[in-house]
Amino acid sequence: MRRITTASRFSCLVVAAVGQVACAGRPVVLARQGTAACTIVLPADALDLEKKAALELADHLEKVIGDRPTVADQPGTGPNIHVGRTPAIERLLPDVDFDALGTDGIVMRTVGRDLVLTGGRPRGVLFCVYTFLQDVVGVRWWAPDQTHVPSEPSLAVTDLDVTYRPPFDIRQFVTGAFNDMTFATRMRLNGGILGLQYADHSITHLLPPKEHFLEHPEWFMYTPPGDVNESYGGEYSYDTLLARMKTAYPKSWYDVAVRTRRLPYQPCSSSPGAIEAVTSAVRKKLAAEYPKWKFPPRIVVVSQSNGAAECRCDACRATHEREGSASASWVGFVNAIAERIEKDYPDVQVTMMAFLHLEKPPAHLRPHPNVSVFSVPVTSDRKRPLRDVVEGQWTARWCAITSRVYIWEHEANFWNPIQPHPNHFVIPDNVRFFAEHGVKGVMLEGKGGQASEFRRMRAWVHARLLWDPHQDARKLMNEFLDAYYGEAGPFLMKWIELQQDAARRADDHVQGAYTMYTDGWLRVEDLNRGMGLFDQALAAVEADATLERRVRRERLNLEMVWIQSYDKLKAEAAERGQPFLGPEDPLVALERIAKDEFKLAWPYLPHHVERLRKKLKGEPVEERR
């Protein structure tokens, strides 16, 4: 009989533990020679997610053992696996503070001849079952298209005793890999379960210009004459935004903008009318949605529209100058709304985004107690961990001035997700940094579709780290690469390490979230070595069509670099006396990618391909800023 103990198969989770009691006893026998020997005991009044937990446990143990355990609402005559929360279960664990588990904390413990899998409500029991299956039994959900379930006809658990609460109350990864809600939940992510729609973060949903701009332009951003606002290449200057209005909005709107110098892209955060209008919209939203929010956190987002447009009226500019950051106006704006609703909704958090020009916190102003802040350190150098750059200091400062900080971290390159992105070891360090500073939740935003570089590995590794940030990221990466790419895994790991070394060697700032090319950090020598590593990787899996296709899909990130910077790399190879291992004909290589063999689902791909066609033919190209 195979006995699984905490020492032999379970990686003990100790971060944010809420209490552990050592216990020793005889093994809890779950199966003997292909026959289930246990009963899964599920209370009759279990929550829906707890019923799902029992079903998932039964389904997976059936595959592991070869026989399905009985699920009942009363203990059986043999060993029992108690799943859920009842007074009887709580009596089995008299030392556990269930309130301290929050919504997602877990308890796994052998008690006598039984096993207890329980936790906080509403999600803790489900996440406990998934943790048990993963870390104790050895199940691996690698990706929606691949799961590993071990075969253990005889199975027993000995001396299992773990109580754990994950450090982040919200754990979400936004990418096509997690469009499958079942897979995301098995990875113990909860953002989708909570129904939080972070993408819907524009203030225009609460202050719609189509309803208010013509009648109340004073509620919207103002730019004084002569104020150019050259930040971000002038993309958010009055002239640029006004020109955009001319084609995007009715002439009546344009005429108002010319007359008032008010633009409908952001509110004026100093405007009493805007504050009252948004407060009214928030109340209306809460009246409709609050009754559906059974469990915390209860969040309503009041945040600027995407981009760095801002009001520069006298009142707003005075606040910026006094506090040393444009974020001060938004803190004041959100504070005013939060104060107006807290009496009726004391448990609701009003959330703002500290994004782009708002990343730096104010010098003196503090968020109201029922205000939370999403710190979005998108401008940081992607090759350096946040603890080493000023944007990390800003995040730490937000954590110091309010106890409710969430993170919206961009882990992909949004303008060119296919090409290499040298933050594979940076993101894990950042997740640990967030935990160290008491961040309440983390959303890692990747790029959807099939295009993003190593997106499946990123999704799996980062989901594991969101649950337990103190795991060894390199070990997790190797584990995934070996499982998902077979014998090619070690060569792919060397390519990832090569990227990191190249980025660290370069002097240039790698602003990878919005960067079209890798010219500043990948040299021709690096790309040549990468070609050799992918050749070895493909040779290692040439007998397996599935693995070979997966490796070729990842090689696209290297191939795209050769094509994008073909002339520069050719010249660099000649200058350095290096071989040139890129394609003989870049147009032929580009047309092969354009056929989209791998269904990349990158909406920008056709435009990117067309631009590269023109570039390779020597035709003028307007580069994306």
User: What per-residue confidence (pLDDT) applies to 199?
Assistant: 43
**Looking at the predicted structure, is the pLDDT value of residue 16 above 70?**
no
List the CATH number of the domain containing 123: 3.30.379.10
Note whether 598 and 548 are within 8 A (CB): no
Range 136-159 average pLDDT: 96
| DSSP string covering 378-416 | TTS-TTS-GGGSHHHHHHHHHHHH-S-EEEEEE-S-SS-
366 within domain boundaries: no
Phi, psi at residue 535, to the nearest 5°?
-60, -45
User: What per-residue confidence (pLDDT) applies to 306?
Assistant: 84
Torsion sign (Cα): 263, 267, 272, 276: positive
| DSSP string covering 557-586 | HHHHHHHHTHHHHHHHHHHHT----S-S-H
CA distance 405 to 424: 24
Output the pTM of the full model: 0.91
**Looking at the predicted structure, is the pLDDT value of residue 518 above 60?**
yes
For residue 231, which amino acid is it? S
How, if at all, do strands 441-445 and 405-410 pair?
parallel
User: What per-residue confidence (pLDDT) applies to 321?
Assistant: 95
Is the model more confident about 308 or about 470? 470
Domain encompassing residue 599:
485-616
pLDDT in tens, 29-44: 999 999 999 999 999 9
User: What per-residue confidence (pLDDT) applies to 509?
Assistant: 67
How many independent structural domains does the chain possess?
2
501 within domain boundaries: yes
**Looking at the predicted structure, is the pLDDT value of residue 316 above 90?**
yes
| DSSP string covering 180-230 | SHHHHHHTT--HHHHT--TT---GGGTS-HHHHTTT-GGGEEE--TT----
CA distance 167 to 15: 7
Q: Which residues pair with 70 in a beta bridge?
A: 39
User: What per-residue confidence (pLDDT) applies to 605?
Assistant: 84
For residue 407, which amino acid is it? I
User: What per-residue confidence (pLDDT) applies to 506?
Assistant: 83
CA distance 119 to 129: 10
398 within domain boundaries: no
Report cis status (omega within 30 of 0) of the bond before 297: yes
Range 102-112 average pLDDT: 96
**Looking at the predicted structure, is the pLDDT value of residue 603 above 80?**
no
pLDDT in tens, 78-92: 899 999 998 889 999
Q: Which residues pair with 426 in a beta bridge?
A: none
**Looking at the predicted structure, is the pLDDT value of residue 393 above 90?**
yes
**Looking at the predicted structure, is the pLDDT value of residue 227 above 80?**
no
**Looking at the predicted structure, is the pLDDT value of residue 9 above 60?**
no
CA distance 163 to 17: 6
pLDDT in tens, 260-272: 999 999 999 999 9
Is the model more confident about 102 or about 600? 102
Number of H helices, E strands in the chain: 22, 20
Range 153-167 average pLDDT: 96
User: What per-residue confidence (pLDDT) applies to 193?
Assistant: 56
> How high does pLDDT run on average in the chain?
89
Is the model more confident about 298 or about 273? 273
Domain boundary pick from 124, 143, 165:
165
479 within domain boundaries: no
**Looking at the predicted structure, is the pLDDT value of residue 552 above 80?**
yes
User: What per-residue confidence (pLDDT) applies to 507?
Assistant: 75
**Looking at the predicted structure, is the pLDDT value of residue 625 above 60?**
no
Closest to 465 (Cα-Cα) out of 489, 492, 435: 435
289 within domain boundaries: no
For residue 250, which amino acid is it? P
User: What per-residue confidence (pLDDT) applies to 11?
Assistant: 35
Confidence of residue 2 (pLDDT cuts 50, 70, 90): very low
281 within domain boundaries: no
**Looking at the predicted structure, is the pLDDT value of residue 24 above 60?**
no
- DSSP secondary structure code for residue 268 in this structure: -
For residue 348, which amino acid is it? V
Helices (H), 250-313: 251-260, 272-289
375 within domain boundaries: no
Confidence of residue 563 (pLDDT cuts 50, 70, 90): very high
pLDDT in tens, 169-221: 999 887 766 678 899 999 999 976 555 554 456 798 999 999 999 999 999 99
Instruction: Please tell me whether residue 258 adopts helix, strand or coil conformation.
Output: helix
CA distance 462 to 252: 48
CA distance 382 to 392: 12
Confidence of residue 112 (pLDDT cuts 50, 70, 90): very high
Range 2-8 average pLDDT: 37
Instruction: Point out the least confidently predicted range of 14-23, 232-241, 601-610.
Output: 14-23
User: What per-residue confidence (pLDDT) applies to 10?
Assistant: 35
**Looking at the predicted structure, is the pLDDT value of residue 1 above 50?**
no
Domain boundary pick from 111, 137, 165:
165
**Looking at the predicted structure, is the pLDDT value of residue 19 above 50?**
no
CA distance 259 to 24: 79
CA distance 256 to 121: 52
478 within domain boundaries: no
Helices (H), 506-576: 524-540, 545-564, 566-576
Note whether 84 and 125 are within 8 A (CB): yes
CA distance 72 to 457: 38
Range 466-492 average pLDDT: 98
Torsion sign (Cα): 187, 301, 105, 393: positive
Note whether 83 and 118 are within 8 A (CB): yes
Domain boundary pick from 149, 165, 181:
165
CA distance 124 to 6: 20
pLDDT in tens, 579-594: 999 999 999 999 999 9
